[in-house]
A and B are shown apart, each in its own frame.
Chain A
Amino acid sequence: MAKLYPKSALGISLLYTAGGLAWLAAMGIAAMWFRTILLSPHVNVKAGYAIAPLYYFLVTFHGQAAMMIIVEDVALSVFAYSLYKSGMGTIHNKILTAAFWLINVPMIIEFIGGPSTGWYMYPPLSLQLGSWIYFGTFAPSLAEKLIGLAYFMMFVNAVGVIIGSITMFLDAYKTRPKEGKIPVFAAYGMAFGGALLFVTEFALAAAELWYVLYFWASVPVNPLTWVVLFWFWGHPVVYYAPFTIFGGLYYLIPKFAGRPLFSEKWARYNIILLFTFSMLAWVHHLQTWPLPVVLRAFITPTTLILAAGSGLTVLNLGLTIATGKGYQWKNPVGLASLVALIGFILAGLQALILPINPLNVIVHNTYYVVGHFHLMIWTIIIVGYVSILLDMLTSKMNGATLTSLSSGMVSGGIIMWTIGAFLLGYTMSYAGYEGLIRRWVAYPVRFVPYMDAMTFFAIIMGASFVMYGLPVLFTLLGVKTSLFWQTAGLSGVSNASIPGGSSPSPTMASQDHNTMKNTIKEINSKTTDASKKDKSLLN
């Protein structure tokens, strides 16, 4: 009989991973498509108007797939994996599987409608029938019902996220360790892959339901109120994945640094800080809007305090690496964790000017912002997720190690990807500073060299994505795994998950000593070293 739903936290994690990767592939193709469209500045107005609906549909699809599906899939996947690694687990696997389908499927109907609203679908543009390439072509009375249906499907997606995150959070709470604290990885999962989702996703659900009621029950929509409501979800959503991944980095980086986390206490304090302030910063997306000065003055310190909290994570992990026994960056998982951290710093620096009211206006709505958040996504989310995913796949492969072929593909791919990402992110940001506005299908010809450079760097990233994505994809599908994994003597090690996340990753095992005996010896010696260190710290 076919397996209808996964029966374990690892299975749930892999299910959400599969959803995230499928949508990632689709939104990546959309990105390549509209980047090709952007090679022309469309000086010819007729040509520009002709291509614009397709361009704006692709941009909308790209953004909505990312923000409403992939981010949630990734956050819940990492959350489930954190439970698996912490000796905790999921109980209501049927509900979590149902939530998975609610998150991943209904919005297909919305996409069929051909939205060209932009992912943040501001009113009243998004209420105009003309913003829907396909649904908008029907007679108005039918078109309104169909667009209402599209927004209802988006609402169902948000409900799926709420159900999934609440269920996983409660399961985590029920399976928490009987003694001692919840391990940091799982604690971050519970806070940012669980609670942050179900607390803020209600705002999106409400905003979408408001649109449904507009079309189905003629309820008027107030643009200013709607955007404030939307961003109460729209800002925290950008933290769902990265902050959950932070937990993964807190778990992985100490392993490769050869010492315990520099300060677990501060990692835990940081949960409170990041959780609270991530919900107090949303109005910084509306700094050029006619909102009261007081409101916009309020979000300057809240956003900066949030940034200081993120910086604390960087410091904690940075000091773990700096005071460790030589970081094992040659290991693909170690490399990916390190790159995610460095990327987070470099992308975070770009953001520092954004909450400052007098500076925000210089770059608001320009490619500067696009460069910042894409660099963030490409490093802390994608590369950080790859590091956790490789660890997860090691568990799936019963503790096998990567072969030299797959190690080379992953490490080489990630290095090339990151170089492309930095060049592309910073080119975007500079062009934005020079005055390149977001969402222009036609742009002044002086920006042609920037656009050409961006496309070139994007191609580098595309090629490197294939390089590190192939071993991951083949392993997930169970195809040709012998090419990418070697199992000699390591089977079963990763299944011995130890609460507190102190078990070294099997991918760390040196290939020269690739035997069960040596690996166990290595683990034991590391544990002893760690305990010695803890002892000296306590003294």
Chain B
Amino acid sequence: MYLYIRPKVESHRDWEKIWFGVMLVIVVIFVAWSYVSVISGDTATYRYGLPLASGVPKPLPNGTVVIYMEGVQWAWVPMNATEIIYSPNGTQMNISVTANVISYVNGYPYIKVLPHQPVEMILYSNNVVHAFYLRLPHGPQNVNVVPGIDSYSFFFAPSTVGNYTFHCAEYCGVGHSYMYGYLEVM
């Protein structure tokens, strides 16, 4: 019985084609996963919002706190907070909750929400580019805010009570690192 052994020198030339094939498969898997995550909305930032509110749930869930937040040099300024409540017949009521939700501690904004409460931040800037960055246990929010364009960040408050800090993540001048505030889950 003869056993055909391919010459070694010839066979190892195929590694590049194999590499290219394997890489192509990996690229397809990564891209498909990325697209499916974006389309189905089950990933952190894309879940709701970026960009231009394309993924924000419509209508907003019952109990959502909508906060208009302005980025200035150098502070986050939550302007007002509204809670969306639906009556049994489906009518949407916008209840102002600014006094309950927004306060300041040592000059830094302090936003109080309940566990699991849906939150929508409508972010805008009157001067330079900022970015809203909030690291939550179930995924971060990381959204750039370009002057003249509203950006949206929608998330559910963490299930456990605690204090979370949101920051500016895009360099916006000398006070960039002091541009932060708190999200308190009560």
Q: Name A's B-contacting residues (CB within 8 A).
A: 42, 45, 48-49, 52-53, 56, 116, 118, 122-125, 128, 130-131, 223-224, 263, 266, 286, 288-293, 297, 300-301, 304-305, 308, 311-312, 315-316, 319, 323, 356-358, 361-362, 364-366, 435, 437-444, 536-537
User: Are A125 and B128 CB-contacts (below 8 A) given A308-B27, A362-B140?
Assistant: yes
What residues on A are CB-neighbors of B174 within 8 Å? 49, 52-53, 56, 116, 441
Evaluate contact between A311 and B23: CB separation under 8 angstroms. yes
Evaluate contact between B129 and A365: CB separation under 8 angstroms. no
Evaluate contact between A297 and B38: CB separation under 8 angstroms. yes
New A-B contacts (20) at CB < 8 Å, excluding given A116-B174, A323-B12: A56-B173, A122-B171, A124-B147, A125-B173, A128-B128, A288-B131, A288-B144, A289-B144, A293-B54, A300-B34, A308-B26, A311-B19, A311-B23, A312-B19, A356-B30, A356-B33, A358-B37, A361-B45, A435-B135, A437-B177
Evaluate contact between B177 and A358: CB separation under 8 angstroms. no
Evaluate contact between B38 and A357: CB separation under 8 angstroms. yes
Q: How far is the CA of A278 from the CA of B168 in the complex (A)?
A: 30
Evaluate contact between A125 and B140: CB separation under 8 angstroms. no
What residues on B are CB-neighbors of A122 within 8 Å? 128-129, 170-171
Evaluate contact between A312 and B20: CB separation under 8 angstroms. yes
Evaluate contact between B171 and A125: CB separation under 8 angstroms. yes
What residues on B are CB-neighbors of A263 within 8 Å? 13, 16
CB of B15 closer than 8 Å to a CB of A? yes
Q: How far is the CA of A439 from the CA of B174 in the complex (A)?
A: 10
Evaluate contact between A442 and B15: CB separation under 8 angstroms. no
CB of B64 closer than 8 Å to a CB of A? no
User: Are A288 and B143 CB-contacts (below 8 A) given A52-B174, A223-B129, A308-B27?
Assistant: yes
Evaluate contact between A290 and B50: CB separation under 8 angstroms. yes
Give the residue of A116, A358, A441, A537 whose beta carbon is less than 8 angstroms from that of B43. Answer: A358
Q: How far is the CA of A362 from the CA of B174 in the complex (A)?
A: 24
CB of B68 closer than 8 Å to a CB of A? no
User: Are A290 and B146 CB-contacts (below 8 A) given A311-B23, A316-B16?
Assistant: yes
What residues on B are CB-neighbors of A357 within 8 Å? 34, 37-38, 43, 46
Per-residue contact bits, chain B 157-169, to A (CB 8 Å; 1 contact, 0 not): 0000000010111
Q: How far is the CA of A441 from the CA of B173 in the complex (A)?
A: 11
CB of B175 closer than 8 Å to a CB of A? yes
Q: How far is the CA of A312 from the CA of B30 in the complex (A)?
A: 18
User: Are A223 and B146 CB-contacts (below 8 A) given A42-B177, A358-B34, A365-B170?
Assistant: yes
What residues on A are CB-neighbors of B93 within 8 Å? none
Q: How far is the CA of A315 from the CA of B129 in the complex (A)?
A: 41
Q: How far is the CA of A152 from the CA of B29 in the complex (A)?
A: 46
What residues on A are CB-neighbors of B149 within 8 Å? 224, 290
User: Are A300 and B133 CB-contacts (below 8 A) given A293-B54, A442-B178?
Assistant: no
What residues on A are CB-neighbors of B176 within 8 Å? 439-441
User: Are A438 and B38 CB-contacts (below 8 A) given A45-B178, A289-B51, A315-B15?
Assistant: no
Give the residue of B9, B30, B38 whose beta carbon is less than 8 angstroms from that of A537. Answer: B9
Evaluate contact between A364 and B16: CB separation under 8 angstroms. no
Scoring A124, A288, A361 by chain B CB atoms within 10 A of each residue's CB, the highest score goes to A288
CB distance from B40 to the nearest CB of A (A): 11
Q: How far is the CA of A441 from the CA of B177 in the complex (A)?
A: 6
Residue of chain A at shortest CB distance from B37: A358
Q: How far is the CA of A126 from the CA of B184 in the complex (A)?
A: 34
What residues on B are CB-neighbors of A293 within 8 Å? 38, 51, 54
Evaluate contact between B38 and A361: CB separation under 8 angstroms. no
What residues on B are CB-neighbors of A288 within 8 Å? 45, 50, 131, 142-144
Q: How far is the CA of A316 from the CA of B15 in the complex (A)?
A: 9
What are 5 A-B interface contacts by the 8 Å CB criterion? A48-B177, A300-B35, A315-B16, A319-B15, A358-B43
Scoring A49, A125, A130, A301 by chain B CB atoms within 10 A of each residue's CB, the highest score goes to A125
Q: How far is the CA of A358 from the CA of B43 in the complex (A)?
A: 6
Residue of chain B at shortest CB distance from A537: B9
What residues on A are CB-neighbors of B12 within 8 Å? 319, 323
Evaluate contact between A358 and B44: CB separation under 8 angstroms. yes
Q: How far is the CA of A56 from the CA of B129 in the complex (A)?
A: 16
Q: How far is the CA of A178 from the CA of B32 in the complex (A)?
A: 47
Evaluate contact between A224 and B146: CB separation under 8 angstroms. yes
Residue of chain A at shortest CB distance from B29: A304
Evaluate contact between B175 and A52: CB separation under 8 angstroms. yes
CB distance from A451 to the nearest CB of B (A): 13
CB of B139 closer than 8 Å to a CB of A? yes
What residues on A are CB-neighbors of B35 within 8 Å? 297, 300
Give the residue of A301, A316, A323 whose beta carbon is less than 8 angstroms from that of B27. Answer: A301
CB of B114 closer than 8 Å to a CB of A? no
Evaluate contact between B140 and A312: CB separation under 8 angstroms. no
What residues on B are CB-neighbors of A437 within 8 Å? 133, 167-169, 177
Q: How far is the CA of A289 from the CA of B27 in the complex (A)?
A: 23
Evaluate contact between B128 and A361: CB separation under 8 angstroms. no
Evaluate contact between B177 and A443: CB separation under 8 angstroms. yes
User: Are A438 and B171 CB-contacts (below 8 A) given A356-B30, A357-B43?
Assistant: yes
Q: How far is the CA of A311 from the CA of B19 in the complex (A)?
A: 9
CB of B95 closer than 8 Å to a CB of A? no
Q: How far is the CA of A266 from the CA of B20 in the complex (A)?
A: 11
CB distance from A448 to the nearest CB of B (A): 14
CB of B96 closer than 8 Å to a CB of A? no
Q: How far is the CA of A118 from the CA of B171 in the complex (A)?
A: 8
CB of B186 closer than 8 Å to a CB of A? no
CB distance from B82 to the nearest CB of A (A): 22
Residue of chain B at shortest CB distance from A130: B173
Residue of chain A at shortest CB distance from B170: A365
Scoring A48, A286, A356, A437 by chain B CB atoms within 10 A of each residue's CB, the highest score goes to A437
What residues on B are CB-neighbors of A443 within 8 Å? 177
Q: How far is the CA of A365 from the CA of B177 in the complex (A)?
A: 13
Q: How far is the CA of A308 from the CA of B45 in the complex (A)?
A: 26
Evaluate contact between B151 and A300: CB separation under 8 angstroms. no
Q: How far is the CA of A13 from the CA of B24 in the complex (A)?
A: 38
What 9 A-B pairs come out closest when comparing CB atoms?
Answer: A358-B43, A308-B23, A290-B51, A52-B174, A440-B177, A361-B45, A442-B177, A365-B169, A125-B128
